[in-house]
Each structure stands twice: as C-alpha cells, then as structure tokens.
Structure 1
Amino acid sequence: MSMHHSRLPVRLTAAPLVTAAAVLALAGPASAHVSVSSPDAAREGYGKVVFRVPTESDTADTTKLVVTLPADTPFLHLTAQPKPGWKVSMQEGTLPEPVEVDGTEITEAVRTVTWTAEGDGIAPGEFDEFALSGGPFPDADSVRFAAEQTYDDGEVVDWDQVQQGDEEPEKPAPTLTLLAASADAHGSGGHGAGADTDEASSASDDQGGSDTWSRVLSAAALAVAALALLGVVRQDRRRA
C-alpha cells in the first residue's frame, strides 16, 4: 500500500510536465520571430508600437534593426522612444503616390526607422524591444511592417514575407492587429477622459462587489463562531 501511494504523485505530475514541454516546443519557433504589438493602437487613432527582437543566432549579437513603414498607410506623426545603448534615426522619403491622412494629403513621410547598437547589442538567447509612437493608424484590421535584422557577423535577416493561406512563412512580416475605433480615437488612441471614467466606474463597481462579498464572509464567520460557542456551552451544561 505504501509503495502504491508513493508512486501516485509522480504519475499525476508527469502528464502536465510533458504537456508543458510540448507547448513550449510548439511555441518556440513562433516566439523567435521579430514581432510587433501595441497596448493601445486603434483604427484612426494614435498609439504605441513595440517591436520585439530576439537573437536567433547561437554565436552572433543583433546589432541593428531597420523597420520599414507601410507606404500605402503612412503615419502623419511619428516619434521614437529613446533607448540606452542604441542610436535611433528616421529616414523620410517620397511616397509612391499622394495619400490623404486625417484630412491632410501628404507626399512624404517617414519611410524607415533604424536602431543601431552602440555597444554589444542583443546577445544570443536574449531579446529586446524597440518602441514608436504615432498615428493616426488606418481604418483597417491590421498594419504590416517589414523588418531587417543585422548580426555582428554580417548576417542579415529580412522579416518581410506575407502569409498566404493558413501556413505561416519562414520569415513573416511583423503585422499589428488594430483595436476597434473609439469615440476618442483622434485624441489619444481611445484612452481619453471617457475611457478613464469608464475604468474608474468599473473599479468602483469591482470594489463595491468586493466589499459586499467581504461582508457576507464576515457574517458567515460570525455565525459559525456563534454555533461553535453554543455547542461548547451545551457540552459544559451536560457535563454539569
């Protein structure tokens, strides 16, 4: 009996470990891609764009990243977040054809943003993030960028392949999915006073619900304590 019980925990934990390993194995290749995300980028709004760059090489450091912005949906305003250890530069260029953005027709816009390491860069097995802020974003489901990653051994990797069908390409272009447009989209990417008010109201509701639940638990605890005390008194009376 004792041997049977000693083996049971091992059998219970083995399956989750195997499952976790399988998930990590499946997630590994996708996580190694140069990717893009945003906490607030919405259609026709302004927001922050973050490029995550992992070093896939086992022997070389990533020392340069060049992001090419879409020419058909250029940004009217764009700034780069300063990053210690890296020099950032923006290159403007003429668009293939004039584009109207937020009621303004533009013929030139920032075409590329380049980050160059002033030190060692991103070592093997590590990643780093590079941020831009601007807009307005187009009224579309997503925005596709292109990225060029350079290693200190001279290797250059182009992340610019467009997915066709269900199969992901080997070097997919970083693609950002946009949030739905909000009433305050032109102000701050949907995070204006209205959003703050909604968040405050939601927080207040959550707090109110939490307080009510705390009162219920307190009342239940008091009831249990009272019943326990009553049981002790009855036992004492019977003994007497």
Structure 2
Amino acid sequence: MRFTPANRLAAATVAVATATLVAVASPAFAHVTVQPGTAAQGGYTAVAFRVPDESDTASTVKLEVSLPMDHPMASVRTQPLPGWTATLEKSKLDKPLKAHGQDITEAVSKITWTADAGTKIAPGQFQEFRVSLGALPTDTEKLTFKALQTYDDGNVVRWIDEAKEGQPEPAKPAPTLTLTKADAAGDHHGMTASQDQAKTAEATSKAGGTDNAARTLGVVGIVVGVLGAALGVMGLRRKSSAS
C-alpha cells in the first residue's frame, strides 16, 4: 500500500487524537480515592479507600491513611479484609469529644493496612479498604485523608497534596471526602450506617456519572474535530492534485 502525504497526515492525526483521549481519561482512575466521595455532616458512614496499583513491575503491599486530627471522629472501625492486617493508632486530643454522654480523650489518627505473606495488589489491579466513620464533623465541608502507598520494591507514593481552589489538581492529591448538609428534617442522625451509606452512594453515583459523561463527551468532541480537520485537508489536497 502506497502512503501519500495526506495518508501520513491522517495517520499522525489519529495517533495524536488517541493519545489525547488516553491522557485525559487515565488520571481519573489512577489516584487513591475515597468511595463514595460524599457524606452528610453529623452522621455516620462507611467509605472505602480505593487503591490502584500504578506500577508495571511492582506490587502494593502497604497502605497508610492519616485521619484529620483537626476534625477527629470518636468512632473509627475497619472492615476485615482477608490477607491484610489493619493497625489503628490513636492520639491524645487537645479538646475532648462528646459522644453518647462521654468525654473521648483520644481518637484514631492513623490506619495502616499491611499485606500478609503472599498477598499484594499486583500491577493492573486495585483493592478497596473499608472503614466506618462517625460522627462526621458539622463545621467543615471536607475531610482530607493523607495516604502513603508502599510497593514491594521499596518505592513509596505519597498521596498528600491538597487541591487548592483555582489551581490545577496536584499530581498526587490526597483522598478527600466532601461533607454535605444534613437533610432539613434533621433526622439524619437517626439513620443507620448502611442507610446513610446507601443514600450517599446514590447521590455520588449521580454526580459522578454526570461529571464523567461530560468529560467523555468533551474529549470525544475534540477527537472528532481533529479528525474532521484532517479529512478536510485530505480532501483539499486530492482536489488540488486532480486539477
């Protein structure tokens, strides 16, 4: 098959468009994140820290998550995960928390999951580490959980950077849980943890679906525009050659 300059231009354009699509779509799946990403203030919820393995050659064998001590929570519990050992560290509080009529003088400040022998998150895989939290604070709109991801080759990825309004997302953003106002009826505290989680997951799914769809359509539009321009150039060159 003989490749004309126009053919080579079209091929190069397709390659650039494909690379652009991959570059835009990939980062959304690469970060350590909190799932679901929202919960109601003042309530209890269950979340999962979703950890993808980004290395082509090494496996993840440890995850350390620091809880925000400027907004401590009285109840922090991990869900058993086969093959992983969870360790909770507590820190003294400057100001005691009130929970069920009692003063709480210390709270969980760090959770470490360590892989047992023969367990790992291999390249191309991900794992979720589930935790129940509460009561969530009512005086902030987000909780930031700084995380360290350790690979079996000794490499440590620090997911600790906080996003700032008006600036691009950092390369290694810390997992963030967005807190929303409790419902107007004021009965959010009466919800069970599972009900709270289901309600939060539904809202997050709708919001996330809309956002992802908008991004995808935007990227597809860019790719179609680039391909259309390339085809237009090819048509002009053919017309010029024929005349």
TM-score (norm 2): 0.65
Name structure 2 gaps, 5 residues minimum.
1-13, 200-243
Deviations 1:202-237 (A, max 9, x none): xxxxxxxxxxxxxxxxxxxxxxxxxxxxxxxxxxxx
Distance 1:51 1:70 in 2: 15
Distance 1:26 1:39 in 2: 21
Distance 2:24 2:96 in 1: 41
The answer on whether the counterparts of 1:40 and 1:48 sit within 8 Å (CA) in structure 2 is no
Q: Find the structure with the greater CA-based Rg.
A: 1
The answer on whether the counterparts of 2:38 and 2:177 sit within 8 Å (CA) in structure 1 is no
SS at match of 1:58: coil
- Cα offset, 1:38, TM superposition: 2.5
Distance 1:80 1:134 in 2: 9
Out of 87, 94, 98, the residue aligned to residue 95 of structure 2 is: 98
The answer on whether the counterparts of 1:181 and 1:190 sit within 8 Å (CA) in structure 2 is no
What is the number of residues matched between the two proteins? 179
Distance 2:181 2:194 in 1: 9
What residue in structure 1 maps to residue 187 of structure 2? 184
SS at match of 1:191: helix
The answer on whether the counterparts of 2:46 and 2:132 sit within 8 Å (CA) in structure 1 is yes
What residue in structure 2 maps to residue 158 of structure 1? 158
C-alpha change, 1:171 and 1:53, in structure 2 (3 Å) is same
What residue in structure 1 maps to residue 48 of structure 2? 50
Q: Which moved more, 1:157-166 or 1:50-59?
A: 157-166
Distance 2:174 2:98 in 1: 23
What residue in structure 1 maps to residue 131 of structure 2? 132
What one-letter code is carried by the residue in structure 2 that aligns with 1:180? Answer: K
Name structure 1 gaps, 5 residues minimum.
1-14, 196-240
C-alpha change, 1:55 and 1:101, in structure 2 (3 Å) is farther
C-alpha change, 1:88 and 1:169, in structure 2 (3 Å) is same
The answer on whether the counterparts of 2:51 and 2:127 sit within 8 Å (CA) in structure 1 is yes
**Aligned positions of 1:74-113 closer than 5 A:** 74-95=72-93, 97-101=94-98, 105-113=103-111
- Cα offset, 1:19, TM superposition: 7.8
- Cα offset, 1:191, TM superposition: 3.1
Distance 2:43 2:156 in 1: 33
TM-score (norm 1): 0.66
C-alpha change, 1:181 and 1:24, in structure 2 (3 Å) is farther
- Cα offset, 1:85, TM superposition: 1.2
What residue in structure 2 maps to residue 141 of structure 1? 141
Q: Which has the higher contact order (CA 8 A, sep 6+)?
A: 2
CA RMSD, Structure 1 to Structure 2 (Å): 2.8
Deviations 1:23-75 (A, max 9, x none): 44312123211111227731100001111101111110000001100001111
The answer on whether the counterparts of 1:46 and 1:185 sit within 8 Å (CA) in structure 2 is no
Deviations 1:95-133 (A, max 9, x none): 3x2154557653310111111111231001111111101
The answer on whether the counterparts of 1:43 and 1:179 sit within 8 Å (CA) in structure 2 is yes
What one-letter code is carried by the residue in structure 1 that aligns with 2:95? Answer: P
